[in-house]
């Protein structure tokens, strides 16, 4: 319907065009199911408290039922904000008035405000999106854990400062990624715990003089507690900024990991090969295998980070009260943040699950570039009684003597030439320079020795199972609340 209100009355045409119409389109896409759930729950609570008569409750529930049945994607897509309906709340209220009459529909709004309705549906939408992101992060972690189990003995070069440093194993590297994903999950779980508190019943900002039961509506809507102080329930925005912060940290972590994978998939590294379904050929260069899936993961993670930062920026230095800065114009940023993070996580999980690791090439690279000479210095300390600094200097001199010849045999010869009095035999030096030996001797907790990574992997799987159980519980809680609000008895126990 066209906006027919003259420019002298509210809303002015330009206000409708730039504010109300975009808000309406976003709200009907993201918030309509939650608005109906809130209507059901509030109606049930009013009847349970004796504020509505049983027949009034029945009439309102019947009107909500008819509206819910009538709502399909095609009809919702055709909805347009009318000049007399400021937002989705008033639009739905008008539909309810058509279904059950203005007087009865108006009784549903007893003891509540658009303020507490809005924050409640924002929280309900955010908790669903956060669960989706956390489920995708858990799936990515499961993919990495399975890959870790396949590569406990796959020796590879570790890098520091973007330069080859020491041998490790692919399992050791992947477990580090699994650890940050576990911490990302813990941050999101903590954010969910504070997000999933009900502000409903705060009304405008000071609750109501009616004897409402906030705990009952919270239970019906799948909340695990109350945003208790009514002022804070309306004014506080940290339910969203904490969530955005958790997602921002996760996307920074994801981006660092993804950047390694991009390097590994280059011809220069050659550690990783992406299947044809995840690469793109050039329109002019027939030989190209561009790792576009990882590039898309990178930009999606960067987008989610930027959107999360924008949420924080928009909330910064705004008044502590009911304020539009925290409401309709902020929510699209939050929804975009969730969507970008979800896409990045799902895409990366798909890429890694299908990628091929060149084990032989990793092993060759681990034996190059003098990566094992730290262990040679350690061996000198143990066998020759040298201080580590003296052993370090001695090995560094031997490396310089080798020039660019990084073969273990050349290094052994150089070391014996530099210090002929060493008790170490050539065979012992070669063993110290073996990358497999380098990894296996590092048995300290958190190290790359296969027995340590095997233990760490078992612990990581235990944590994964706990997370998946938590996700199942919260998903059940949120899903069941969709039916609870409309089917729960309004009678007091």
Q: Could you report the per-residue pLDDT of 208-246, keeping only the tens digit for each?
A: 999 999 999 999 999 999 999 999 999 999 999 999 999
pLDDT class of 2 with cuts at 50, 70, 90 = very low
3-state secondary structure of 393: helix
pLDDT in tens, 131-170: 999 999 999 999 999 999 999 999 999 999 999 999 999 9
CA angle 388/389/390 to nearest 5° reads: 90
Q: Are 221 and 120 in contact (CB under 8 A)?
A: yes
Contact 312, 319 (CB under 8 A): no
Non-local CB neighbours of 179 within 8 Å, separated by 6+ positions:
460
- On the question of pLDDT at 21 being above 80, the answer is yes
Phi, psi of 167 (to 5 degrees): -70, 145
CB-based contact 408:430 (threshold 8 Å): yes
State the DSSP code for 277: G
Mean pLDDT, to the nearest integer, of 277-295?
A: 88
Confidence of residue 491 (pLDDT cuts 50, 70, 90): very low
Q: How far apart are CA 468 and CA 462, in angstroms?
A: 10
Same topology, domains 13-110 and 115-138+187-357? Answer is no
Confidence of residue 451 (pLDDT cuts 50, 70, 90): very high
How far apart CA 71 and CA 33 sit, in angstroms, is: 10
> 418, 398 in Cβ contact below 8 A?
yes
Strands (E), 99-228: 155-160, 163-169
Angle at alpha carbon of residue 15, lines to 10 and 20, rounded to 5°? 95
For the chain, give every domain's residue range: 13-110, 115-138+187-357, 367-433
CATH fold group of domain 13-110: Fumarase C; Chain B, domain 1 (1.10.275)
Q: Which residue has the tokens 């580590």?
A: 388
CA distances from 472 to 72, 457, 478 (A): 28, 22, 10
Nearest one of 465, 445, 474 to 142, comparing CA atoms: 465
C-alpha span between 421 and 10 (Å, rounded): 95
CA pair distance 311, 325, nearest whole angstrom? 10
Record: fold of 115-138+187-357: Fumarase C; Chain A, domain 2 (1.20.200)
- When pLDDT is averaged across residues 109-128 and rounded to a whole number, the result is 97
Residue 357 has φ and ψ, to the nearest 5°, of -100, 130
Query: How do strand 163-169 and strand 155-160 relate by DSSP bridges?
Result: antiparallel
């Amino acid at each position: 319907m066209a906006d027919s209100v003259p420019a002298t009355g509210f809303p002015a045409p330009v206000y409708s065009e730039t504010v109300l119409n975009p808000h309406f389109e976003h709200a009907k896409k993201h918030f309509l199911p939650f608005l109906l759930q809130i209507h059901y729950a509030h109606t049930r609570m009013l009847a349970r408290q004796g504020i509505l008569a049983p027949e009034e409750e029945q009439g309102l529930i019947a009107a909500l039922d008819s509206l819910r049945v009538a709502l399909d994607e095609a009809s919702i897509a055709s909805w347009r904000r009318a000049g007399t309906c400021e937002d989705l709340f008033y639009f739905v209220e008008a539909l309810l008035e058509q279904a059950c009459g203005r007087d009865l529909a108006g009784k549903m709004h007893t003891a509540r405000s658009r303020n507490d309705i809005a924050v409640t549906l924002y929280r309900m939408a955010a908790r669903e999106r956060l669960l989706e992101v956390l489920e995708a992060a858990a799936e990515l972690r499961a993919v990495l854990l399975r890959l870790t189990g396949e590569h406990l003995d796959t020796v590879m070069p570790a890098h520091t400062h973007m330069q080859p440093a020491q041998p490790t194993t692919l399992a050791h590297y992947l477990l580090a990624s699994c650890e940050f994903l576990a911490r990302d999950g813990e941050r999101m779980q903590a954010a969910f715990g504070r997000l999933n508190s009900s502000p409903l019943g705060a009304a405008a900002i000071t609750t109501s003089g009616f004897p409402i039961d906030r705990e009952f509506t919270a239970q019906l809507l799948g909340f695990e507690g109350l945003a208790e102080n009514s002022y804070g329930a309306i004014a506080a925005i940290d339910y969203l900024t904490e969530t955005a912060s958790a997602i921002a940290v996760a996307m920074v972590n994801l981006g660092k990991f993804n950047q390694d994978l991009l390097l590994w998939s280059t011809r220069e590294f050659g550690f990783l090969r992406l299947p044809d379904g995840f690469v793109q050929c050039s329109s002019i260069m027939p030989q190209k295998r561009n790792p576009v899936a990882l590039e898309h993961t990178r930009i999606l993670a960067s987008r989610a980070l930027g959107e999360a930062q924008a949420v924080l920026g928009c909330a910064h230095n705004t008044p502590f009260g009911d304020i539009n800065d925290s409401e309709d114009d902020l929510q699209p940023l939050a929804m975009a943040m969730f969507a970008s993070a979800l896409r990045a996580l799902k895409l990366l999980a798909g890429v890694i699950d299908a990628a091929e690791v060149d084990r032989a090439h990793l092993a060759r690279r681990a034996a190059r570039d003098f990566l094992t000479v730290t262990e040679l210095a350690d061996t000198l300390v143990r066998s020759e009684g040298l201080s580590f600094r003296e052993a370090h200097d001695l090995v560094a001199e031997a490396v310089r003597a080798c020039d660019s010849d990084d073969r273990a045999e050349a290094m052994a010869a150089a070391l014996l030439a530099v210090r002929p009095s060493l008790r170490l035999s050539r065979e012992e030096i070669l063993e110290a320079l073996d990358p497999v030996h380098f990894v296996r001797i590092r048995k300290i907790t958190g190290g790359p020795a296969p027995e340590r990574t095997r233990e760490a992997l078992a612990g990581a799987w235990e944590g994964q199972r706990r997370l998946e159980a938590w996700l199942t519980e919260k998903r059940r809680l949120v899903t069941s609340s969709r039916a609870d609000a409309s089917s729960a008895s309004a009678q007091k126990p």
